[in-house]
Amino acid sequence: MSMRVVDILVPVALDQAYSYRVPAGMELSPGDVVAVPLGARESIGVVWAENPNPNPRLHNRLKDVEAKLDVEPLKAELRSFIDWVSNYTLSSRGMVLRMALRMGDGNPGRERVGVRLSGPKPKRMTPARARVLELLADGLIRSKSETAVEAGVSAGVVDGLIDEGTLETVVLPPEPLMRVPDPEFRKPEFSLGQLAAADALRTTVDQGGYTVTLLDGVTGSGKTEVYFEAVAENIRLKRQTLILMPEIALTAGFLDRFADRFGVRPAEWHSQLNARKRARTWAAVAANEVPVIVGARSALFLPYADLGLVIVDEEHDPAYKQEDGAHYHARDMAVVRGSIAKFPVILASATPSVESEVNARKGRYRRLHLPERFGGAHLPHIEPIDLRREGPPRGRFISPRLAEAVQNTLERKEQALLFLNRRGFAPLTLCRTCGFRLQCPNCDAWLVDHRFKRRLVCHHCGFNMPPPAECPQCHATESFAAVGPGVERLHQEAADLFPQARILVLSSDLVESVERLRSELDDVAEGRFDLVIGTQLVAKGHHFPKLNLVGIVDADLGLGNGDPRAAERTFQMLHQVVGRAGREEGRGVGFLQTHQPEHPVMQALIRGDREAFYENEIALREATSYPPFGRLAGLVVSAADKHAAESYGRALVGLAPKDEQVRVLGPAEAPIAVMRGRHRFRILVKAPRAYDLSGYLRDWLSQAPKTKGSLQLEVDVDPQSFF
Ligand SMILES: Nc1ncnc2c1ncn2[C@@H]1O[C@H](COP(=O)(O)OP(=O)(O)OP(=O)(O)O)[C@@H](O)[C@H]1O
Ligand SMILES: [Zn+2]
């Protein structure tokens, strides 16, 4: 009798698919989701391929597929995408598959139960019961909870009436996750420039097929409104759209804007969804019941029934890079997904990544340009404040000129934003008596003073402790000094300088919940705060109509930390923050407090000369063969023992295949040499642009000695961070 065997990929850290027997009577095809025995456990898995010629010696050892699960199969395009991502990033295929199987427990949750009047009146009547009967007298079915709420009774009252036979229960169909958006709901009136871009995008979607468009528009130019036309067209074609956002904070105002345009809110996908919502969303996306989803990078791995368009908003944002588990860049992988499944991809930004800028210059991406702000608003004027000459008084961080400008803004009843990309009160606490610095016991890092929470916190491992009463070294009391500012300290200073102002501090560590953050951002947009003090959480994408002044407290913060992307990051972030100013009425102005106003990044910002920045940066990258003119991969070796990490790193480098085109640098102690109690060494691999770096790494790492004990090797292709 012929036996059917299939290869099944399971979501664990393994590369290969395992063979299983298909029991008689079970229908299986590639993509089907199944339950299989895996060692002593049962695991979920996905049929990856037929195996027509299984190794005959294995026949008796193969196990049977246990069951086929009742979920939509993973389509071929998603399976190819998983293979591609795994191959490129060198993450095991199983781990990449795992990102596609985040369907919670697969159970979309309780059934919704409805009730309606059916039997005789109950024997005992109470006022509460009477209210329920009155409500249901129209004979309509209502959900149980709705009935209780509308009649103003407890759920117990409704249950009592069901028990007596007065009401009967009916299973209701699940509420749709999202109603169908209406592409004609409210079309905006476009400016001529917007219209041209919107038309071009509509045509692109209409024609379908793989293309990449860089929607390059200045801050406040209406990129969202414009790409909504692409979404509208895709809705008309009845295909699914994914809009990627780098941060949940950004989706707050976005959901409402979407609803203004299309009449309904889009579905959402991010790490804060509860298990039930996650399961429902996953299933609904697969069943083609979600026309538009707004998501964080992991939404790329959802099992779309018919994905026809991906938009990557703020495409330059570093948050698109996932740094743990599989190291992938969601913008790049969105482009890959588009090329595999042959649909258009739109990248939107006012400050494109150098990669996308070069792709547009070389004609690999089409560029649509929006050079002006919508509605005649002007781009903000930017002024440097030279901290060497007109800095703040000792122990203060707001220079007199910035303070005066904020004061004037507040007097005009406009809003101001002070930007400092540093959480907490102060980045360093030291003992004034002996100079001792409070350090993390697990990391090569200082503890950050978080006064609102009364804790000292390590930003790398999360270690935290209450502030000690005395210096651990010299036992002096009351001897600690806070060094440098964080947003909380800035708040203290601002409260002092502007006692009348309603001040809000926005920082990711102070965010209690997504809802809370959304309502706070709403409060800012509605003008319920006068002064916002924030980290990069407020830097991008937001539209606050009354905000006219932005003060960058320390413009130099991200420069000169040895990161090859420091200039790009700093330019993008500062340009974006300042871009929050003057978006509606009044003139926007930005102040850059800096020690180096002559720095090319500062100069490009001050003169509003974006091109100068790109020219400079692109020339530099080209001269040094840095991305996108060359390719990089970072290898991080870490272990509890420093010597073990270093010698493994050395051995690894010794095994690197010889290739004239590839340079292997290191191992060198990482800038953060110890993290979470692990000693870290970095190896940097450089190769030419068109080189198959993933292939090289795979050959190399297949020779690598096994990582034993606490040793770990992390591989990061196209690294974004170098710490
Ligand atoms: N055609 C239009 N009709 C009405 N309002 C518009 C139009 N275009 C843009 N706007 C409004 O202008 C403001 C700025 O638009 P939007 O936020 O889309 O800009 P953006 O290009 O995404 O900016 P940023 O890059 O800074 O996020 C928004 O309030 C938006 O609703
Ligand atoms: Zn730590």
SS3 string, 289-308, reads CCCEEEECHHHHHCCCCCEE
User: 471 among the known binding-site residues?
Assistant: yes
- Ligand 1 in contact with 189 (CB < 6 A)? yes
pLDDT digits (tens, 9 = 90+) for 581-627: 999 888 899 999 999 999 999 999 999 999 999 999 999 999 999 99
User: 98 among the known binding-site residues?
Assistant: no
Q: Among 225, 227, 574, 583, which residue has the most ligand 1 atoms within 8 Å of its CB, making it the best to mutate? A: 225
Report the nearest-CA residue for atom 23 of ligand 1. Answer: 220
Amino acid, res. 284: A
Atom of ligand 1 nearest to the CA of 217: 21
- Ligand 1 in contact with 223 (CB < 6 A)? yes
Q: Relative to the alpha carbon of 588, which ligand is closest?
A: 1
Atom of ligand 1 nearest to the CA of 224: 18
Cα 254 to averaged position of ligand 1 atoms, centre (Å) = 11
| Percent of the chain topping pLDDT 90 | 80
Q: Relative to the alpha carbon of 460, which ligand is closest?
A: 2
Q: Look at residues 551, 654, 641, 531 and name the one whose alpha carbon lies nearest to residue 594.
A: 551
Q: Look at residues 308, 291, 350, 299 and name the one whose alpha carbon lies nearest to residue 328.
A: 299
User: 440 among the known binding-site residues?
Assistant: yes
- Ligand 1 in contact with 544 (CB < 6 A)? no
Cα 186 to averaged position of ligand 2 atoms, centre (Å) = 50
**Domain 192-374 belongs to what topology?**
Rossmann fold (3.40.50)
**Domain 377-422+486-619 belongs to what topology?**
Rossmann fold (3.40.50)
Q: Is the pLDDT of residue 234 over 80?
A: yes
Token look-up 């005009």 returns 412
pLDDT digits (tens, 9 = 90+) for 513-538: 888 888 899 999 999 999 999 998 88
CB 570 within 8 Å of CB 558? yes
- Ligand 1 in contact with 188 (CB < 6 A)? yes
pLDDT digits (tens, 9 = 90+) for 157-174: 999 999 999 999 888 777
Cα 309 to averaged position of ligand 1 atoms, centre (Å) = 21
User: 468 among the known binding-site residues?
Assistant: no
Q: Relative to the alpha carbon of 465, which ligand is closest?
A: 2
Cα–Cα dist 530/161, whole Å = 54
Q: Relative to the alpha carbon of 442, which ligand is closest?
A: 2
Report the nearest-CA residue for atom 14 of ligand 1. Answer: 220
Q: Which CATH code fits 5-100?
A: 3.40.1440.60
Q: Among 374, 574, 577, which residue has the most ligand 1 atoms within 8 Å of its CB, making it the best to mutate? A: 374
CB 575 within 8 Å of CB 610? yes
Cα–Cα dist 320/349, whole Å = 13
Atom of ligand 1 nearest to the CA of 191: 1
Report the nearest-CA residue for atom 4 of ligand 1. Answer: 188
Report the nearest-CA residue for atom 27 of ligand 1. Answer: 541
Q: What is the dihedral of CA 459, 463, 467, 470, to 10 degrees?
A: -120
How far is C-alpha 19 from the geometric centre of its chain's CA atoms? 36
- Residues of 102-127 as b/e, b for ≥16 C-beta within 10 angstroms? bbbeeebeeeeebbebeeeebeeeee
Give the per-residue pLDDT at 376.
86
Q: Is the pLDDT of residue 698 over 90?
A: yes
How far is C-alpha 105 from the geometric centre of its chain's CA atoms? 23
User: 431 among the known binding-site residues?
Assistant: yes
Q: Is the pLDDT of residue 104 over 90?
A: no
Report the nearest-CA residue for atom 26 of ligand 1. Answer: 219
Q: Relative to the alpha carbon of 677, which ligand is closest?
A: 2
Q: Which CATH number fits domain 630-717: 1.10.10.60, 3.90.950.10, 3.30.70.600, 3.40.640.10?
A: 3.30.70.600
Find the mean pLDDT for residues 457-463. Answer: 93
- Ligand 1 in contact with 617 (CB < 6 A)? no
Give the per-residue pLDDT at 57.
76
- Ligand 1 in contact with 315 (CB < 6 A)? no
User: 458 among the known binding-site residues?
Assistant: yes
Cα 477 to averaged position of ligand 2 atoms, centre (Å) = 24
User: 256 among the known binding-site residues?
Assistant: no
Cα 646 to averaged position of ligand 2 atoms, centre (Å) = 21
- Ligand 1 in contact with 579 (CB < 6 A)? yes
When pLDDT is cut at 50, 70 and 90, the band that residue 52 belongs to is: confident
Q: How far is CA 93 from CA 9, 12, 16, 325, in A?
A: 8, 8, 7, 12
Q: How far is CA 484 from CA 380, 395, 505, in A?
A: 28, 8, 17
- Ligand 1 in contact with 219 (CB < 6 A)? yes
When pLDDT is cut at 50, 70 and 90, the band that residue 105 belongs to is: low
pLDDT digits (tens, 9 = 90+) for 372-394: 999 888 899 999 999 999 999 99
Cα 433 to averaged position of ligand 2 atoms, centre (Å) = 25
Q: Relative to the alpha carbon of 225, which ligand is closest?
A: 1
Give the per-residue pLDDT at 512.
78
- Ligand 1 in contact with 224 (CB < 6 A)? yes
Cα 24 to averaged position of ligand 1 atoms, centre (Å) = 59
- Sign of the CA dihedral with 152 first, then 154, 160, and 165 last: positive
Cα–Cα dist 254/268, whole Å = 11
When pLDDT is cut at 50, 70 and 90, the band that residue 46 belongs to is: very high
Cα 421 to averaged position of ligand 2 atoms, centre (Å) = 19
- Ligand 1 in contact with 222 (CB < 6 A)? yes
ipTM: 0.97
Cα–Cα dist 429/436, whole Å = 9
User: 481 among the known binding-site residues?
Assistant: no
Q: Is the pLDDT of residue 51 over 70?
A: yes
Report the nearest-CA residue for atom 18 of ligand 1. Answer: 222
- Ligand 1 in contact with 320 (CB < 6 A)? no
Lowest mean pLDDT among 69-83, 249-263, 323-337, 420-434: 249-263
- Residues of 625-653 as b/e, b for ≥16 C-beta within 10 angstroms? ebbbbbbbbbbbbbbeebebbbbbbeebb
Give the per-residue pLDDT at 560.
75
When pLDDT is cut at 50, 70 and 90, the band that residue 551 belongs to is: very high
Cα–Cα dist 708/706, whole Å = 6
Atom of ligand 1 nearest to the CA of 350: 25
Q: Is the pLDDT of residue 347 over 70?
A: yes
Give the per-residue pLDDT at 665.
96
When pLDDT is cut at 50, 70 and 90, the band that residue 562 belongs to is: confident
Q: Among 186, 192, 218, 221, which residue has the most ligand 1 atoms within 8 Å of its CB, making it the best to mutate? A: 221
Q: Look at residues 36, 39, 60, 61 and name the one whose alpha carbon lies nearest to residue 48.
A: 36
Cα 541 to averaged position of ligand 1 atoms, centre (Å) = 10
The DSSP letter of residue 718 is S
CB 274 within 8 Å of CB 323? no
Give the per-residue pLDDT at 513.
81
* Coil, helix or strand at residue 408: helix
* Coil, helix or strand at residue 329: strand
Lowest mean pLDDT among 100-114, 391-405, 422-436, 491-505: 100-114
How far is C-alpha 596 from the geometric centre of its chain's CA atoms? 32
Cα 458 to averaged position of ligand 2 atoms, centre (Å) = 4
pTM, two decimal places? 0.90
Give the per-residue pLDDT at 561.
72
